[in-house]
Structure 1
């Protein structure tokens, strides 16, 4: 059955808006060519989108030819303002952006472990409000939050997880109460996978698994272009993966006997020390740069027995990658986070070499491009998608 006139208009409008977002300012003639729509239909949708405040004239094209210049239409970037937060154990980072995702202001603030739940949540919320004011933003339309821990797949709420600060969950509630915005929360590793897929090392891959290597370890599973969260929101909790070479096994309360005990920052720093690579005190834990990233960079720079250290680390990472490949066969594993970014292509090549010996399944190993910024970028992309999904469906 053919679409009704109103449905057809909505489809055409949304197509035009997506093209303007992806390709930048376009003339009506360019929109006609890209959409395949008739000239009268394009003229009608341009008028409609201008009336809705979603696009505006941003310049002219055709100065090199005779005759009147064609108007260039672009997304009205200030039609809505967005925010993203990267919530860590002892800090929070904030970015405020326009509808196209252009950063207008950003800030970071440490939050002491001695701070109470209410006070910590208030500090983080105040930082967001202050950053939005500095950006000159109006009321925020959508806010994306990246946090450690599990997200309930039914309610979308951040679950109470042993070992993580209570102020994370309280912050979500505070922002929902204070702001007229849509507040979305997602696991930090999943957001890193979204960011690397859209803007990083996996733009050509719809199926891959991202290893987040920071103070701890986690995985984001992207299959056929969609995040897979699992029945309880725990897909990718590979820190709990039982692996050989670790005394004991992980428990329901902690992952000390699992993959985390091989590739978390603290055990990697210990491994580095055995190879003559010193890591400054205080970098193994907390919200500073992971000591493992410092160690990897030092090894690549030639400190200590760097080659042997990198080989040993690659062997550990290959254990986890082989387990993932055996179950999911993703074809690609991304080494992301601060440690994966520090190791770059050199570490990725070592892991792929060892993985080839462990698994008959062809699995490419790549280095993430976005480093520690991936979580914040993924949160902003999530907020932007939410805003555009609503605003890019004009009525009429």
Structure 2
């Protein structure tokens, strides 16, 4: 093969000017993003934020209004009455969304508008998947929707990059049956995502990680899982298995995990049953959430922090995310006190610095993340050029 001439290899091609239709599409998407992120705006505010000329802003407002994507939602008190005083906002009723938080033994659904604002919420029956879809459809009607545009399901277990919920140990069959029933019966785009990933999305957008580009969320509940966000992006891994930290081999379990059993891994130390047993060793017989919140005493909390730091140290050594967010029922119960105890223990286990924070969203994180994901998917579809 002949050598490549350096000058040709390094000289970029001259950019092609955007066509008028492409430029309009770019401007429209920019305006819609600003309206979604900043709230209702006047044409004058859109002009200042976009840098577009007044005629260009007038044209895009007319196009977006004609497409039924934005509407006048009020008048600005800072402007005199007239066209410049009109405040424009996204038409929230243009599409309705549903978010589902599906646990091993329960399911909750919320219906929201195109802005992601929750309108109605209810528990869904488990096992009876067709009945669950019936309840979701009734919930949509209660919210004023004739139908749903996008549905996002948060579920435990592996989710392949293509969106397929894969079988893992302890995952009930009705999880996959429910997703299939939703796809079969609803004229909506139905997507499934790992629950911990959705919790991380929520913490990144509106929770404890709002100011971070990189962090790992550690979900502590009946099981244990992790979500990895690096450089602002959720990382799923080649097979969707990134964050299956319950299978991480750690000292203190007495055995090793297997491909089908995480009982010998990190799960055996910090899963809900393991934490309850640890609390009992410290003389606590009450609810495990209360033990983690501090009722079982400081020696118990230090022992739990010791266990959590084992997994956190491995995360720090391999990923160096800079921050660990403790989430899930137990992470929420432990709050800042547990986070501080884990951070103190980490300083003795790894030279890699890692801040530890407690969730600010608690048990609502999965539903919140599912709503955000549904909103983004629906807007990407409806706002496409």
Match of 1:386 among 356, 367, 377: 377
Runs of 4+ in 1 over 3 A off after TM superposition: 64-69
Match of 1:294 among 283, 290, 295: 290
Match of 2:348 among 327, 347, 357: 357
Gap change, CA 1:268 and 1:67, over 3 Å in 2: closer
- The aligned residue for residue 330 of structure 1 is 321
- Helix, strand or coil: the match of 2:139? helix
Residues 1-396 of structure 1 correspond to what in structure 2 (within 5 A)?
1-62=16-77, 68=82, 70-111=85-126, 115=127, 120-153=128-161, 155-280=162-287, 291=288, 293-297=289-293, 300=294, 303-304=295-296, 306-394=297-385
Matches of 1:393 and 1:156, distance apart in 2: 22
Gap change, CA 1:66 and 1:128, over 3 Å in 2: closer
Matches of 1:236 and 1:24, distance apart in 2: 35
Matches of 2:265 and 2:303, distance apart in 1: 17
Deviation of residue 123 (structure 1)?
2.5
Deviation of residue 379 (structure 1)?
1.0
- The aligned residue for residue 283 of structure 1 is none
Matches of 2:220 and 2:97, distance apart in 1: 28
Structure 2 unmatched ranges of 5 or more: 1-15
Gap change, CA 1:137 and 1:108, over 3 Å in 2: same
C-alpha contact (below 8 Å) 1:239/1:255 kept by paired residues? yes
Matches of 1:338 and 1:67, distance apart in 2: 51
RMSD between superposed Cα atoms in Å: 1.3
Deviation of residue 393 (structure 1)?
2.1
Aligned residues: 369
Gap change, CA 1:13 and 1:268, over 3 Å in 2: same
C-alpha contact (below 8 Å) 1:94/1:127 kept by paired residues? no
C-alpha contact (below 8 Å) 2:98/2:111 kept by paired residues? yes
- Helix, strand or coil: the match of 2:56? helix
Deviation readout 1:329-383 (Å, 9 max, x if unpaired): 1111110111111111111111011101111011101111111111111111111
Matches of 1:181 and 1:386, distance apart in 2: 12
Deviation of residue 67 (structure 1)?
5.6
TM-score (norm 1): 0.91
TM-score (norm 2): 0.93
Structure 1 unmatched ranges of 5 or more: 281-290
C-alpha contact (below 8 Å) 1:95/1:105 kept by paired residues? yes
Matches of 2:32 and 2:268, distance apart in 1: 48
Matches of 1:79 and 1:327, distance apart in 2: 44
Gap change, CA 1:59 and 1:65, over 3 Å in 2: closer
Deviation of residue 110 (structure 1)?
4.9
C-alpha contact (below 8 Å) 1:27/1:73 kept by paired residues? yes
